[in-house]
Amino acid sequence: MLLEQYECDEDDMAWIAQHFPNLISLGVSLNIVSPLLFANLLHLQKIEVLKIHWGMFGETYQRLSHEERTKQQDYRRNFVLEYVERFPRLRFFDVEPDFYMADADGVLFTQDPGQPLPLERITTNHFFNFRRTPYLTHVNFYPSNEIIGNPAPCVFLTNLKVLEVRDVKGSLIFQILTLCGKQLEELKVKIFEEQDQLDVCDIFMLCPRLHKLHYFFLVHTEETKPFNNQLDASHFLNLKEFSLIWRLSYAYSSRLIALVLTAPLLERFTMKESFTMTYEVFTQLHRPLIDGKILQKLRKFQFGSHLEQPAELLKFLLLLPVHAPRLENMDYFGAHPSFLKLIEESPLQALNAVENFVYTHAKSSHYLTYDGDDSDVSDLD
C-alpha cells in the first residue's frame, strides 16, 4: 500500500491496521503524529518495507504552537530511534526528510544495541553505526543538504551491493568507496550542482566487482584529471552496464571507451556527452570487433558528444550493428556540428534493415542515465 501523496492521520492508521493486519509494504505521508498513530502502525508486525514522508511544512503543521512543534519533533525522533526496531521483519526503511535518523552521537537505534537489525535497504543522509545493520545490501545516501557525520562506519557495510548517492561531493564518495567499495556491484551517482567530481578511473580502481555504473554529472565542466595508467582491462571483467553523462576531455574519454568497450560482459553502453574515439583506439577495436571478440553481449548502445570527431568514429558506428550480434538498439543523441552532417549523410539509418536492430536519431541530448529494467531498485528512485 503506497499512500505517499495522502496525508495519513490517527484514524487512517487505525483503519489500515484493522483491515490490513498482514500488510508487507507501506508508504505513507505523516504530518501531525502521535503515540496513538505509532501504536496502530506497530500492529503491522509483518511489515518488510516502510516508507515515510514527514510533512512538517504543511499549513496544519505551521499552525501549531512552538510547544506543540517541539512535541511533534520528540514523537518523530522517538519513532525513528526506538519504534522502528519493533518491526521484526523490516528489511527496507526509507524516511524523508530524515532529520531524526540519528541522535547527536550518530546512533540510529538505541534499544538493545547488541542486537543486529534485519534491515537490507535504507535511505538516509546520516552516517550512523552500521555495525547494527550487518545485512544492509542497498544504501541510498540522499542528503537534503549534506550527509551528516563521519563516513568511518561505512567499513561495517560488508554486504553492500548497491550504493546510490545524490548531490554528494566527489571527495566524500571517494571515502565511502575506499571503505566499502570492494564488494560493490552497482553504483549510481547523480550530481546536479558544481561540486568536486568523482574520477571515473577511481571508481573502477576501488570497485573491482562493479557490474553497473550509472554516473550522471549535469555540470558542463570537463574532466581535467589525467587518465590513470594503472587502470586496465582487468578492472572491467564484471561490467555489464555503463552509463556516463559527463563532458569529458577528448583524450580521457577515448581511453576510457577503449577499456569499457572491451568488457566481455557488456550489455548496455550509454555516453551521451563525450563519446569519441581517437584513431589509435579505433585501430585497437576494429579487428577484435570484426573477429567477434568484443561486444558479443551488447544489446543497447546510446551515444552523443559535444566533441569534434575523427572520421574513424563513423566507421566504427557503421560496423557495430553488423558485428555485435545481440545489438537491439542504437540511439544517437546529438553531435558536434562538424560531425553532425556526416551522421545525417551516412547509411546509419539504412542499417535498420539489419534483423532485430533499430537505429534512432533522438535529435537532441536527453539527460537520462538509464532506461532499462530497473524493477529491482525502482522504489528508491
More confident residue, 78 or 171: 171
Alpha-carbon 205 to chain mean position: 19
Q: Among 14-23, 138-147, 270-279, 368-377, whose mean pLDDT is lowest? A: 368-377
Distance CA 5, CA 63 (A): 21
Q: Per-residue pLDDT tens for 25-71?
A: 999 988 889 999 999 999 999 999 998 888 766 677 778 888 888 88
**Per-residue confidence band for 97, with pLDDT thresholds at 50, 70 and 90:** low
**Per-residue confidence band for 263, with pLDDT thresholds at 50, 70 and 90:** very high
Q: Per-residue pLDDT tens for 305-337?
A: 888 888 889 999 999 999 999 999 999 988 888
Instruction: Characterize 93-104 residue by residue with b for buried, 16 or more Cβ atoms within 10 angstroms of its Cβ, and e for exposed.
Output: bbbbebbbbbee
More confident residue, 56 or 90: 90
Q: How far is CA 201 from CA 2, 237, 240, 259, in A?
A: 39, 15, 17, 11
CB 10 within 8 A of CB 37: yes
Query: How many CA atoms, within 13 angstroms, populate the side-chain half-sphere of residue 220?
Result: 4
What is the per-residue pLDDT for 107?
A: 55
Distance CA 36, CA 97 (A): 22
What is the per-residue pLDDT for 142?
A: 83
**Per-residue confidence band for 20, with pLDDT thresholds at 50, 70 and 90:** very high
**Per-residue confidence band for 372, with pLDDT thresholds at 50, 70 and 90:** very low
SS3 180: helix
What is the per-residue pLDDT for 317?
A: 94
Q: Among 150-154, 193-197, 204-208, 291-295, whose mean pLDDT is lowest? A: 193-197
CB 69 within 8 A of CB 48: no
- CA nearest neighbour of 127 among 87, 84, 82, 179: 179
What is the per-residue pLDDT for 365?
A: 43
pLDDT at 84 over 70: yes
Distance CA 164, CA 378 (A): 12
Q: Among 191-205, 250-264, 308-322, 361-375, whose mean pLDDT is lowest? A: 361-375
pLDDT at 109 over 80: no
Instruction: Tell me the sheet residues that pair with 8.
Output: 30
C-alpha cell at 55: 510533512
Distance CA 33, CA 37 (A): 6
**Per-residue confidence band for 230, with pLDDT thresholds at 50, 70 and 90:** very high
Query: How many CA atoms, within 13 angstroms, populate the side-chain half-sphere of residue 265?
Result: 12
Give the residue-averaged pLDDT of 10-34.
94
Q: Per-residue pLDDT tens for 119-155?
A: 899 888 888 888 888 899 999 998 767 788 889 999 9
Distance CA 333, CA 363 (A): 6
Q: How far is CA 140 from CA 99, 129, 274, in A?
A: 15, 15, 27
**Per-residue confidence band for 348, with pLDDT thresholds at 50, 70 and 90:** confident
- Helix and strand totals (H; E) in the chain: 10, 14
Per-residue 3-state assignment (H helix, E strand, C coil) for 323-380? HCCCCCEEEECCCCHHHHHHHHHCCCHHHHHCCCCEEEECCCCCCCCCCCCCCCCHHH
Amino acid residing at 144: S
The residue whose grid cell reads 551488447 is 298
Amino acid residing at 282: F
CB 300 within 8 A of CB 372: yes
More confident residue, 46 or 4: 46
pLDDT at 363 over 70: no
SS3 301: strand
